[in-house]
Amino acid sequence: MNSVRPPLVDGHGRAIGDVRVSVTDRCNFRCQYCMPAEGLPWLERSDVLTFEEIERLVTLLVQMGVHDVRLTGGEPLVRRDFPVLAARLAAIPGLQDLSVTTNGYLLDRDADALVAAGVHRFNVSIDSLQRDRFFEMTRRDALPRVLAGIERLAAHPEAHPIKINAVAIRGFTEDEVLPFARFAREHPYEVRFIEFMPLDADHTWTPGSVLSGAELRELIGREYPLEEAPREPSATARVYRFADGQGQLGFIDPVSDPFCGDCNRIRLTADGKLRTCLFSHNETDLRTPLRDGSSDDAIDAIIRAAVWRKELKHRVNEPGYVQPLRTMSAIGG
Among 63, 103, 128, 269, binds ligand SAM (CB under 6 A): 103
Among 14, 20, 30, 217, binds ligand SF4 (CB under 6 A): 30
The Cβ-side half-sphere exposure at 55, using a 13 Å CA radius, reads: 14
List of residues 6+ apart from 201 with CB closer than 8 A: 34, 35, 36, 40, 327, 328, 329
Mask for 120-159, x = binds ligand SF4 (CB under 6 A): -----x----------------------------------
Would you count residue 74 as binding ligand SF4 (CB under 6 A)? yes
Whether the CB-CB separation of 193 and 213 falls below 8 Å is answered with yes
Among 184, 191, 194, 277, binds ligand SAM (CB under 6 A): 194
Would you count residue 25 as binding ligand SF4 (CB under 6 A)? no
Among 114, 117, 197, 239, binds ligand SAM (CB under 6 A): 197
* C-beta closer to ligand SAM: residue 172 or 196: 196
Would you count residue 311 as binding ligand SAM (CB under 6 A)? no
Whether the CB-CB separation of 312 and 260 falls below 8 Å is answered with yes
Whether the CB-CB separation of 76 and 101 falls below 8 Å is answered with yes
Among 8, 19, 27, 153, binds ligand SAM (CB under 6 A): 27
Number of helices (H) and strands (E) in the chain: give both, helices first.
Answer: 10, 12
74 conformational bin, left if phi > 0, alpha if psi -120 to 50, beta if neither:
left
The annotation places the binding site for [4Fe-4S] cluster at 27, 31, 34, 260, 263, 277
Would you count residue 329 as binding ligand SAM (CB under 6 A)? yes
In the complex, the residues that contact ligand SF4 under the rule CB under 6 A are 27, 29-31, 34-35, 73-75, 103, 125, 328-329
